[in-house]
Homo-oligomer: A and B are copies of this chain.
Amino acid sequence: MEKEISDPTLAVSGQRGPVSHERRIQIIESASEHFRKNGYKKTSVADLAKAIGVSSAYVYRFFESKQAIGEAICGLALGKIIAAMHEVANSDMSASNRLRKLYTTLLDKGLEIFFNERKLHEITIEAIEGRWCATTQYHETKYEVVTKILKDGRASGEFERKTPLDEVVIAIVETLYPFSHPILLQQSEPNVLHQRAVAVSNLVLRSLAP
């Protein structure tokens, strides 16, 4: 009882909480798959509900609009990239290798998640144009993992310690953009992007030499 009172979300949803959460994730994943195959723009909530075998009313119990589903898909996709960044930062490789790996991980995950057979997903384009994908946590994670890797590398003696840490973090986060922003990823072939990611991480590591 006390827990329910201190957590209004749980108090409201009661026993249905966890079950609803599971169903919500299922709807998001089915919707994501459906939009991937059939496009986002021309699919209505009714089409989507039919395709995943539930009623429109059921979908509306979880999401107030198609865009709300889009936002959830976007959040789930960015969540996967965020998790992959943390995995790199927390791995037991040297700081230099973790930094290298951060470039290729962002690139590989981005190509996997935002694209479909080398074409940007329609939902990615809609999210960028309509600016309805919440990217704050994603951006914060970039700063967080770069800061962690830099601190570790400074502590281990791999990286120089003279330049203010904040300035270096800001600069490195900027150099990640060409390998993480969908619009930039779409302008080049994956193998060219990989070569460039290696060239940039080499340049960054030379700048960090003690």
* Chain A residues within CB distance 8 Å of chain B: 128, 163, 167-168, 170-172, 174-175, 177-178, 181, 183-184, 195-196, 199-200, 202-204, 206-207
Contacts and interface: CB of A to CB of B under 8 A. Distances in A.
Contacts of A174: 175, 178, 196, 199-200
Contacts of A200: 171, 174-175
Nearest to A193: B174
A199 B177 contact: no
Nearest to A192: B170
Tell me the number of copies of this protein. 2
B183 A171 contact: no
9 contacts: A128-B183, A170-B195, A171-B200, A174-B175, A174-B178, A178-B178, A181-B184, A184-B184, A204-B207
Contacts of A163: 202, 206
A169 to B, nearest CB: 9
A199 B181 contact: no
Chain B CB count within 10 A is highest, among A183, A195, A203, for: A203
Contacts of A202: 163, 167, 171
A81 to B, nearest CB: 17
Nearest to A162: B206
Contact of A184 (B168, B177, B203, B207): B177
A207 B172 CA distance: 12
Given A174-B199, A175-B175, A177-B184, 20 more contacts: A128-B183, A163-B206, A167-B199, A168-B199, A168-B203, A170-B195, A171-B196, A171-B199, A171-B200, A171-B203, A172-B203, A174-B175, A174-B178, A174-B196, A175-B203, A177-B178, A178-B178, A203-B204, A204-B207, A206-B207
